[in-house]
Chain A
Amino acid sequence: MVNTLLTILYVLIGFMMALAGIESFRDVKSPTHLGTGLFWTLLAIIFAFGSFIPAMLVGAMIVVIGLLSLFKQIKVGNLTQVNPKRAAASAQKLGGWIFLPSVVLAIVSILISQFTQLGGQIGIGIGAVVSLLLAIALTKAPVKQVYSDAQRMVRSVGAPGILPQLLATLGAVFTAAGVGTLTAKLIAGVFPAGSHLLGVVLYCAAMAIFTAIMGNAFAAFAVITAAIGVPFVIAQGGSVAVVAALGMTSGYCGTLLTPMAANFNSLPVALMEMDDEMGVIKQQAPIALLLLVLQMGLMYILAF
């Protein structure tokens, strides 16, 4: 039941990606319309038919996606922008009700994951479908508008949209190759596993430091959790949910401290024409360091 439903949801995602593919191919004014169209088409195939085709073929498609990206053939392209006049008119009319679909999405997905056997993923899928139908009813949008907004949103997400899934994939490849156990062995040579407090401090600090170096907490998470989080904290009896959640947010403390996270720390400097390239980071540093220490404490108390 759950697997059938999940497969249906993946087919729906594949369908949306196919729309993005069609519209990317049609965006002939963009020099990269072929590459971008191919990118979305491959993803559409993987999502819609992945359960029925050989994994090796999917692997090959991912290599093609990597190549497309390497040669800069995946771009957002030209999107139809939101019509500000219609948005303003609609805002006048709907007021606070415009938030209703988002609220319903959250409530439906939480209810399904809490009170049914279907689990969180199905909850999100059903919540998304219900809230979309509600949004259509609320805005009385014609099919054409729904189509246009859907393909606009998917295309604007672009290649970064599949980065989380790719990183999770990398984590799985690391596990298959035994990278986690090997690094754990190396680190265990320096720091003995077994002390709860030392494990927690090591994991949180490593998350923050690696995130600061890479500028991306998601990438650090797959690597550091396999290498340190699991052997030094979870294998010592730490609660998986607490360790993983606080591990990620410890990584965010690193994001707050690094010029590598350009999206968050350099973008505003450019946007607001600030003089000090590090200005935002200086405002963030006290809170980031304080939160990092507090999270170590929280993890130590809540996980064991």
Chain B
Amino acid sequence: MEYLKLLGIAVIVIGFALKWDTTAVVVVAAIVTGVLSGMSVPDLLSTLGKSFLDNRMVSLFFLTLPMIGLVESHGLKEVAVSAIQKLKKATPGRILNLYLIVREVTNVFGISLSGQVQFVRPLIQPMVQAAASVEKKLTKKDVELTKARSAAVDNFGNFFAQNLFVASGSVLLISSTMKSLGHAVQPIEIVTASIPVAILTLILVGIYNLLFDRHFKGKASKHDKKEE
């Protein structure tokens, strides 16, 4: 039955959806696909081994880790935090937009921040909340809103700018997968093709954040915002 080999896709979808161990799920999916498409065990192991070796370029980002570790242990985050703190008097939307830019730019330089843990929770959300409470006494729901939006902005900046760095995991994965699929493409071409969407995100989220300020404009906009 030819369609049996599609079970490998089912393994991936179900395994990821049910949060089974990811590494094991991928290996099992490869084995299932190989066996069900009629490969012998030695053939299967060779295919697996050869494919893994052919895709070693995806893991080139490991080479950048020692440098990043070194600048990290010498104050990278401390410098970034103090730069953001200099802008305490802004509105929630402007703080979020500044953070969005910082997040996109650091992505361009391949600095991947664990944004939610290192910036949003300890720094960005408290600043946004502080700025939001200048004109308006915040309800519990308002505070919740500042948390949700701060986390969302981190994800926007992180996702749509990460392809701007040639050695990012995603760019290397795209390039390597396309080569496997018989349509080779250079990492730098992926970066160039990712510029429009990064700019689009910057504009859209920028406007979205400026609109966010209206929630906190004192009595002028006392319209009770219903739970979205």
The docked-state distance in angstroms from the alpha carbon of A135 to that of B62 is: 16
Q: Is the CB of B60 within 8 A of A173?
A: no
Closest to B158 in A: A264
Q: Does A188 contact B (CB under 8 A)?
A: no
Q: Does A4 contact B (CB under 8 A)?
A: no
The docked-state distance in angstroms from the alpha carbon of A248 to that of B148 is: 24
Residues of B within 8 A of A236 (CB): none
Q: Does A200 contact B (CB under 8 A)?
A: no
Mask, A136-177, CB within 8 Å of B = 1, is 101101000110011011100101111111111111111111
Task: Kindly identify, within residues 32 to 82 of chain B, every residue whose CB is under 8 Å from any CB belonging to chain A.
Answer: 33-34, 36-37, 39, 42, 44-79, 82
Q: Is the CB of A171 within 8 A of B180?
A: yes
Q: Is the CB of B178 within 8 A of A244?
A: yes
User: A-B contact count, CB below 8 Å?
Assistant: 458
Task: Kindly identify, within residues 180 to 206 of chain B, every residue whose CB is under 8 Å from any CB belonging to chain A.
Answer: 180-190, 192-194, 196-197, 200-201, 204-205
Closest to B169 in A: A164
Closest to B155 in A: A264
Residues of A within 8 A of B189 (CB): 240-241
Q: Is the CB of A284 within 8 A of B69?
A: no
The docked-state distance in angstroms from the alpha carbon of A94 to that of B111 is: 18
Contact among A66, A141, A267, A274 for B24, CB-based, below 8 A: A66
How near does chain B come to A272, taking the closest CB pair, in angstroms? 4
Q: Is the CB of A91 within 8 A of B82?
A: yes
Q: Does B222 contact A (CB under 8 A)?
A: no
Q: Is the CB of A131 within 8 A of B204?
A: no
Interface residues on A, range: 35 or more
B-side interface mostly:
helix
A-side interface mostly:
helix
Residues of B within 8 A of A78 (CB): none
Q: Is the CB of B173 within 8 A of A241?
A: no
Q: Is the CB of B144 within 8 A of A275?
A: yes
7 interchain residue pairs of minimum CB distance: A91-B75, A66-B27, A59-B45, A58-B49, A149-B69, A59-B49, A268-B151
- B residues sitting closer than 8 Å to A (CB atoms) are 2-3, 5-6, 8-9, 12-13, 16-17, 19, 21-24, 26-31, 33-34, 36-37, 39, 42, 44-79, 82, 108-111, 116-117, 120-121, 125, 140, 144-145, 147-152, 154-156, 158-160, 163, 165-167, 169-170, 172-178, 180-190, 192-194, 196-197, 200-201, 204-205, 208, 228
